[in-house]
Structure 1
């Protein structure tokens, strides 16, 4: 059994955090693709546990909520009735709750974009924050009932409603596929309370950072996740690295430092050690050389 050296593990995780896919990471680091995937899954699960332990008892003044689209295995239009576990394939949305002043991702949840998952996301957010922060969301209606149920009727909740152009009629195919629809109107509505500021600009900018920092969110590529567990692990890895390791350009510190849950900039090695410390003690091994095994079988000695 060959155990993957710690230096190689750090190299693999650093490459993944820089937005490389599994295959590209394998080529650059020289680590077997299966080993890269196994390590990413284990560290991602550890990062989720680390997030649960650190992001509690917070007092953000204002929160911005949004959802980020992706898909697992296949796009929703190709999901058939006979697909096993249809909830784990097709379109998946990652809910993000961002602290407006700290830019920290306080809560996140990946699943279908429906009322049940929205309520579960808001319930998780409620358990992490103390007090009654102002909340800004988009016009997705399930937010209103979920926020009212978890935060009460007096919470300051504002909604940003954007109206887009009817689509790209008459445009060339390339422009239609690669250019987003134009925003023609923006309305700001007060759902409850008296919010001092209604905006989702920071969390929408965070969505761009996620697409750039995780290959699984890249549009029009083959870097999408094949399994929901691996997708969720990749999201957790990104969130932990973003909060703890990346110095925000405007804050001059990491979001975790701005939020008060960290006192220094973490390295990838720090993140790796902390994430693996939450997981069962099993060595990360290199995958066997399949080509060698096949040659033995073909030679009649297997």
Structure 2
């Protein structure tokens, strides 16, 4: 079986992390789209495992959580009329939890935005933290039961509930967002410090995610056609963001700032990690046939 040179694999992974679409990567790297797709799957699985194993025992003080919207195959309102839409087509939400100090993405989850996903997300987050934290979320009600179930009373939890009005007259249009006219801080559990009740870092990380991944860009044809590929790309992005990308303020990676890594990873390290995680081809046995020699 032919294998791409390390430099070519590094080029493809780098372009994925820099927001290029799969077809543009295929053209620039001069490889087939199937090659890019296979590397995406292999890299996604390896990166998900790497994050699960290494982002543990995080000693954070303040954690912010948020959700970012995207869609798979078609927007939710168009799924009913879409041709051959898969079961997972429609709105796709990515839940993220970020350490406000190190900027480490502690936990992530791709799926729906209901209470079931909220509970799975909070259970995963709680299992990765080494100490009691101050937690801030937006006003999404699914967090209430999920935080209680995951942390019990061992958390200082507050909600930042934003209030919206109509879009300004000068900015009204098809894609004009509602105007945020205020926000209130609600203590839910423990004793959260009102000065640090904020989701600003989580929202800023979501902006980075939307700009770095073609699949999240609004008004584009680069959206995910398969839910699994969307999830694989988030896994790759998370390892790149945590372990490879230098944070401008810290001058080190978020993983190094959080103490979960002691070295700077390179894209070559990611490619080697993917190779090591890939299943090894088995030995080829003798050719078997049902025909009798005659």
Task: Note if contact 1:49-1:275 (Cα within 8 Å) is conserved in structure 2.
Answer: no
Q: Which residue of 2 aligns with 1:230?
A: 229
| CA offsets 1:218-237 (integer angstroms, 9 cap, x no match) | 00001101011100000000
Instruction: Name the count of aligned residue pairs.
Output: 279
Instruction: Give the Cα separation in 2 of the matches to 1:154 and 1:129.
Output: 12
Residues in 2 aligned to 1:46 and 1:215: alpha-carbon distance in whole angstroms: 21
Q: 1:93 corresponds to which residue?
A: 93
CA deviations 1:4-33 (Å, max 9, x no partner) are: 222111111011111111011111111111
Residue 244 of structure 2: aligned partner: 245
Q: Could you tell me the TM-score, scaled by structure 1's length? A: 0.88
Give, in whole Å, the separation in 1 of the partners of 2:245 and 2:229.
Answer: 22
Task: Provide the secondary structure at the position in 1 that maps to 2:60.
Answer: coil
After TM superposition, the structure 1 stretch with the greater mean CA deviation from structure 2, 199-208 or 73-82, is: 73-82
CA distance in 1, matches of 2:98, 2:104: 6
Q: Report SS of the residue matched to 2:163.
A: strand
Any conservation in 2 of the 1:111–1:117 contact (CA below 8 Å)?
A: yes
- In structure 1, the partner of 2:253 is 254
Cα distance in 2 for partners of 1:104, 1:255 equals 5
Aligned match of 1:275: 274
RMSD between aligned residues: 1.9
- CA drift of 1:73 comes to 0.6
1:172 and 1:201, CA in 2 relative to 1: closer, same or farther beyond 3 A? Answer: closer
Give yes or no for contact 2:64–2:100 (8 Å, CA) kept in 1.
yes
- Which residue pairs with 2:36 in the alignment? 36
What whole-Å deviation, never above 9, does each CA across 1:115-172 have from its counterpart, x for those lacking one? 0011001011111112211100000011111111111125210111111222466755
**What does the per-residue CA deviation read over 1:78-106, in whole Å, with 9 as the maximum and x for residues that have no partner?**
122997753x1100100000011110001
Q: CA separation in 2, counterparts of 1:143 and 1:89?
A: 24
Q: Distance in 2 between matches of 1:190 and 1:85?
A: 41
Residue by residue, what CA displacement relative to the aligned partner does 1:165-219 show, whole Å, maximum 9, x if unpaired?
Answer: 224667553xx42x43221111111111111120100010000100111111100
Q: Secondary structure at the match of 2:80?
A: coil
Instruction: Name whichever of 193-202 and 147-156 sits farther off.
Output: 147-156
Mapped contact 1:247–1:254 kept (Cα < 8 A) = yes
Match of 2:288 in 1: none
Structure 1 residue aligned with 2:157: 157
Deviation at 1:35, TM superposition (A): 0.6
Does residue 193 of structure 1 match 2:172? no
Question: Within 2, Cα distance between the matches of 1:100 and 1:259?
Answer: 10
- 2:158 match: secondary structure: strand
Equivalence for 2:16: 16
**Partners of 1:219 and 1:274 in 2: CA distance:** 32
